[in-house]
Structures are given as structure tokens and as C-alpha cells.
């Protein structure tokens, strides 16, 4: 199959006086898990809801498994497992009733898989949803999302508000979901560590715009911090054009550069009044923070 399972082309979504996504283009390949990262209000949830056809883009197009979501919403949703940020389910129903209800909605429902997941998560079938803890509710939503053996799995902040042991449980389940017929998993999250364990790729968005979409390993290899020391009383003259964030504090000139290669150091030395410069490796979390800080305000001078 050559069509990517998830494809967004130039997707803009306007709410009243507010642009939630701005010409967002993304393509997720088969066999990958992608972490959608961004600060609160970046447009992550809007983006995920549009992938499911629950929100209609103002302009642009979205196709899931080769089908346009706007014109084929119900058909596409049959193939997607979705866990929303705060799974509501049906608060008055029992776990068992929710599962039975879901089984009537999805054509490809696998009852044996549902039973297996309920057991694995130790979910009490007779408890009503309202009485479940947040972690249990997420697990119940995950049972519904996985038991129809979806080809695409979409998870909105699945780890937020969960204790570390429940998160571990969830990570293990998601890892086993990959081994089944799920072609593509997209999860939005603030837990960058979890994303780093689970995902192959990250897409970082800010104010509705895509800042970077890359494999995690490539991102680590191609994003570096350069720490330079300015000569007394001097300021940078020609920062590297690939600088995504920089900070000047007395003589210390720090910059995060993407994409970086080591030959840039010579250009930096030649064009700026600096006495030294060294390269520092960054973690995914540091890269994320620098990209967001840089997008918010390009340079701080103390």
C-alpha cells in the first residue's frame, strides 16, 4: 500500500476569531507511532478530532486509509480506535454495558479480544463508569478503542493524570497493539518521556503550525545546542540562519540549531565576535522546549 494511512493537506480550522490549525500538512507512514507534541492550545485536540471527522476543516483535506474523512466520516471511523482526552463514555452504564453497546456500533468487533482486554486491565464489568477512577476510565475507553481491531489508533493525552504504574500498564498495552493489525498510532501528549519510549516520530506543533516532523533519532542527531562566549561588550553579528532559539546572558550566547551540522561552527566563529564555541547534545524534552520558546519569541537579551 503506497497511500499513507494518515494524510493532512493544508488543513486550516477557524473557530470564531481564532485559528486553531494553520495550513497544517502532515503525512504519517504505515507501521509508525507518531507523537503529536505541543503546549496547551497548540491545536492538538482539534487536529485529532478533524482526523476522525468529528470536526470539519475550514479548508484543506484529510484522508485516512486513503479515504476523505469529510465525505466518508462514518465509514472511516469504523477503522479508527479513538480515546478522547477525558473519556466520557456513558457515565450511567456499567463497563459491560458500554462494551456491549460498542460491539453493536463496530462491524469488526472482536468479542474475544474485548473479554481478554477487560481481564488484562482488571476492569470490574459490573461497575458503573461514573464510579471508575480516571485510570480505569481510560482503560475502559481503550478496551472499546482496541476491541474492534482498528487500523488507526488515535489517542488524545492518554497518560495525563495517571499514576506511573497505570501509565506503565498503558504503555505495555499500546506496545502490544502495535504488534496487531494497527497500521498507525497517533498520540498527543505532554509526557515527552512516554512519547520517546512509544513513538518512532514526533510532530511538534505550536499555534496551529507545524514546527517540525521527524523521526526521534533524526531529531536528536540534527538538533544541537551551541554554547558560544562573546568577546567583551560585543553582540552577535550573524547568527546561524538555522537558529530556532537563542539566548544571550552577559557573554554567554546559547543557541539551539536545527538542522545542525558540525561545519556550521566554523561559519559561526568567522562571522561573530566570539572567543569559543562548543556543541552540546540535547534531549527530546529540551529540543521541544527550545522549539516552543523560539516560536514564541525568537531572542531574549538580558
Partner 1 sequence: MGDRMIVDPQSPIPIFQQVASQLRQQIAAGVYKPNEALPSQRRLAQEIHVNPNTIQKAYDELAREGFIESRRGAGLFVVDRSRAEVAGQAERRLGRDLSRAIANALTSGISPHRIRTLFREALQLEVASSSRRLT
Question: What is the binding site for partner 1 (CB under 8 A)?
Answer: 31-33, 168, 171-172, 175-176, 178-179, 192-194, 196-200, 216-217, 220-221, 265, 275-279, 281-286
Closest distance of CB 172 from partner 1, Å: 6
Query: Could you tell me whether strands 209-215 and 224-230 are parallel, antiparallel, or unpaired per DSSP bridges?
Result: unpaired
| Spatial CB neighbours of 181, under 8 Å, sequence gap ≥ 6 | 149, 151
Which of residues 50 and 199 has its CB atom nearest to partner 1 in the complex? 199
Taking the complex as a whole, the smallest distance from the CB of residue 164 to partner 1 amounts, in Å, to 11
Place of cell 482486554: 117
What is the DSSP code string of 239-299? --TTEEEEEEETTEEEEEESS--TTHHHHHHHHS-EEEEEEEE--HHHHHHHHHHHHH-SE
The smaller minimum CB distance to partner 1, of residues 56 and 278, is found at 278
**39 or 221: CB nearest partner 1:** 221
Nearer to partner 1, 57 or 194 (CB): 194
Choose between 59 and 275: whose C-beta lies nearer to partner 1.
275
- Comparing CB distances to partner 1, the nearer of 76 and 170 is 170
Please report how close the Cβ of residue 288 comes to partner 1 at its closest, in angstroms: 12
Q: C-beta of 58: minimal distance to partner 1 in Å?
A: 34
Residue 195: exposure state from Cβ atoms within 10 A (0-12, 13-18, ≥19): buried
Sign of the alpha-carbon torsion through 260, 261, 265, 268? negative
> What is the closest distance, in whole angstroms, from the C-beta atom of residue 289 to partner 1 in the complex?
12
The least CB distance from residue 195 to partner 1, in Å, is: 8
- d(C-alpha 219, C-alpha 216), whole Å: 5
Amino acid at each position: 500500500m503506497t497511500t499513507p494511512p494518515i494524510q493532512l493537506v493544508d488543513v486550516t480550522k477557524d473557530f470564531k476569531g481564532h485559528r486553531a490549525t494553520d495550513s497544517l500538512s502532515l503525512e504519517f507512514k504505515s507501521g509508525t507511532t507518531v507523537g503529536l507534541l505541543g503546549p496547551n492550545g497548540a491545536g492538538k485536540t482539534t487536529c485529532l478530532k478533524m482526523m476522525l471527522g468529528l470536526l470539519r476543516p475550514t479548508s484543506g483535506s484529510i484522508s485516512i486509509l486513503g479515504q476523505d474523512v469529510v465525505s466518508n466520516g462514518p465509514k472511516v471511523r469504523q477503522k479508527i480506535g479513538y480515546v478522547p482526552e477525558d473519556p466520557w463514555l456513558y457515565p450511567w452504564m456499567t463497563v459491560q454495558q458500554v462494551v456491549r453497546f460498542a460491539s453493536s456500533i463496530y462491524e469488526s468487533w472482536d468479542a474475544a479480544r474485548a473479554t481478554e482486554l477487560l481481564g488484562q486491565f482488571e476492569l470490574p464489568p459490573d461497575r458503573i463508569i461514573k464510579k471508575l477512577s480516571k485510570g480505569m476510565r481510560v482503560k475502559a475507553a481503550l478496551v472499546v478503542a482496541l476491541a474492534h481491531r482498528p487500523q488507526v489508533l488515535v489517542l488524545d493525552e492518554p497518560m495525563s493524570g495517571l499514576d506511573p504504574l497505570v501509565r506503565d500498564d498503558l504503555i505495555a498495552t499500546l506496545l502490544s497493539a502495535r504488534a496487531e493489525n494497527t497500521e498507525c498510532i497517533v498520540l498527543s501528549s505532554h509526557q515527552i518521556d512516554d512519547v520517546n519510549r512509544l513513538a518512532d516520530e514526533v510532530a511538534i506543533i505550536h499555534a496551529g503550525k507545524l514546527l517540525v516532523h521527524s523521526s526521534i533519532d533524526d531529531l536528536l542527531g540534527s538538533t544541537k545546542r551551541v554554547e558560544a562566549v562573546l568577546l567583551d561588550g560585543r553582540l552577535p553579528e550573524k547568527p546561524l540562519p538555522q537558529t530556532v532559539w537563542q539566548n544571550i546572558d552577559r557573554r554567554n550566547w546559547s543557541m539551539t540549531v536545527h538542522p545542525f551540522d558540525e561545519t556550521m561552527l566554523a561559519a559561526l566563529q568567522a562571522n561573530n565576535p566570539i572567543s569559543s564555541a562548543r556543541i552540546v547534545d540535547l534531549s527530546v524534552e529540551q529540543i521541544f522546549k527550545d522549539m516552543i520558546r523560539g516560536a514564541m519569541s525568537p531572542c531574549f537579551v538580558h
